[in-house]
Amino acid sequence: MKKTSKIFSLLVMGISVFGLVSCNNDDNDDPIIVTPVGEAKVVSGKITTNTTWTANNQYLLSGFVYVESGVTLTIEPGTVIKGDKPTKGSLIIQPGAKIMAEGTADAPIVFTSNQAKGQRAAGDWGGLIILGKAPVNKPNAVVEGENVSTFGGTDAADNSGSLKYVRIEFAGIAFETDKEINGLTFGGVGSGTTIDYVQVSYSGDDSFEWFGGTVNAKHLIAYRGLDDDFDTDNGYNGMVQYGLILRDPAVADQAGDSNGFESDNDGSGSTATPQTAAKFANITMAMADGTVNGKFASALRIRRNSAVSAYNSVFTGAWPRTGLRVENDLTIANFTNGTMQMQGVVLALSGTQSAGAVEGITQEAFLASNAKNAIMAQADLKLATGFNSITATPSVLPQTGSPLLTGGTTLPAGFEANTYVGAFSTTNWTEKWANFDPQNTDYELEK
């Protein structure tokens, strides 16, 4: 096919050009396609030069959009980026590239569906994928579904940029059977990357998934996703502090089962290194009231030789199988020998669990006095009415006298010091920037 390139220049509509035109996305030498449409810009192909997306425009991702190695994509506060449904629009930050998406509490950056208000659904577009050069325990690792982009390396401090005050809504479309892109996917992302104040809502697969890497994160929200909320694989070794998970009891993954945490060392449960040994602290997991879909399983499912740890976190809801599920001998040994830690963890489940509150390890081991773990009734938490609401903004702060305010353990080095359990003490860090009703938010351009 003949290829042509030219610079667009429009004077009236305020539309600036930031790329060249290509008609063959498979040619690595071809740059990005940008088609100005009014005040919207359709983006496809490859971003090969440093580029800034501005808040006065909107951007529509058509197909796989790649930020190439050595290139920085900067996104201004308040910018809205939409994913095209027919072409399964997705944004992929390649190893060696950077995304600098730093919104503010008053002007968050939003990645969302291109469907009209009231007609949006999980899986309307692909999602955001960030890839880096930090260690993973899987050779020749490639992105699920896309099956082309590789990730991972030896640079634990690799820097893929920054996400701050960012919302990702209605992503997670299936590219192959059982191979969906998540709301936000990390592949071999290094600790030089900043992830803070990020909400993933209505993901058609996992809300957040980490494949290896060492990236740390704070202030994450997983809201009404389909499959797992925090999924860790292939040697992920970062630290995540302050996370809110809120589930719709009617919505679970019919292809498998849905858990709050799901963690594997790798798909076969091998002893490959680095071992998945991420640390999570100050997590609040809640399930809204209502009849629970039979495809839900456990609040935490840790298996396949994972050594993921949780501290000062509370897990509530009518999880039908169990609260904490530790599977297979290697994973149980990780708990027994202290490689995996559960400290300051509260299980406050409602309904009936077919395998009990704790599975795989004994309840006595979980409740060891030095761990400061607890199993209690949900009502004993003294949470506000509406703490698990999915019909209004949730009331996330514990009430006066709640055992969550003082019941935590001393956190490992690297976390912000505190001794409360869950994501919140007296400050609601979701205010202003988070959105618990993206279905009815007007994202149309102002004319």
H helix runs in 288-362, sequence order: 329-336
User: Cβ neighbours of residue 159 under 8 Å, at least 6 residues apart?
Assistant: 98, 132, 190, 192, 193
Structure token pair of residue 201? 């809502």
Write down the pTM of the prediction: 0.92
Query: pLDDT for 47-74, tens place per residue?
Result: 999 999 999 999 999 999 999 999 999 9
- Asked if 305 and 331 touch (Cβ cutoff 8 Å), the reply is yes
CA quadruple 397, 371, 316, 298: dihedral, nearest 10:
150
Average pLDDT, the chain: 92
Q: What is the DSSP string of 164-201?
A: EEEEEES---EEETTEE--SEEEES--TTSEEEEEEEE
Phi, psi values for residue 33, rounded to 5°: -100, 130
pLDDT confidence of 175, banded at 50, 70, 90?
A: confident
Query: pLDDT for 217-268, tens place per residue?
Result: 999 999 999 999 999 999 999 999 999 999 999 999 998 899 999 999 999 9
pLDDT confidence of 447, banded at 50, 70, 90?
A: low
